Amino acid sequence: QVQLVESGGGSVQAGGSLRLSCAASANIFRANTMAWYRQAPGKERELVARISPGGFLAYADSVKGRVTISRDNAKNTVYLQLNNLKPEDAGVYYCAPLPLGRTPWGQGTQVTVSS
């Protein structure tokens, strides 16, 4: 069964925007904090943002003010709005329930930012 499906990535110029979506199985979405991670080539996967079931938000310092995470509990979907994209934002973006380790990673969605 499909548990995490990311979409919405693409190729944009610096300063552009993208909205990423992650559809999750209901059993792993509803009671969990959901997070977005990204992995650039040659680098470790890093936490970008997270949102609790009740809407508590947290962001990595590198994206504060440019990124917004949200969730639609009725659709079991978490979103990541990326604005004012920079080349260093490029990578494969993944969503996951926290804590990690209980659910296989999805295929991710690629974000490419050209300068």
CB atoms within 10 A of CB 17: 11
Beta strands 10-13 and 109-114 are parallel
Query: For residue 1, what pLDDT is reported?
Result: 65
In degrees and rounded to multiples of 5, residue 48 shows phi and psi of -100, -50
Per residue of the chain (115 residues), give pLDDT as tens.
668 999 999 999 999 999 999 999 998 888 899 999 999 999 999 999 999 999 999 999 999 999 999 999 999 999 999 999 999 999 999 999 999 988 999 999 999 999 9
Residue 54 CA to residue 113 CA, distance in Å, equals 32
- Structure tokens, 76: 């079991």
Query: For residue 107, what pLDDT is reported?
Result: 96
Query: For residue 30, what pLDDT is reported?
Result: 85
Task: Please check whether residue 22 is in contact with residue 34, taking contact to mean a CB–CB distance below 8 angstroms.
Answer: yes
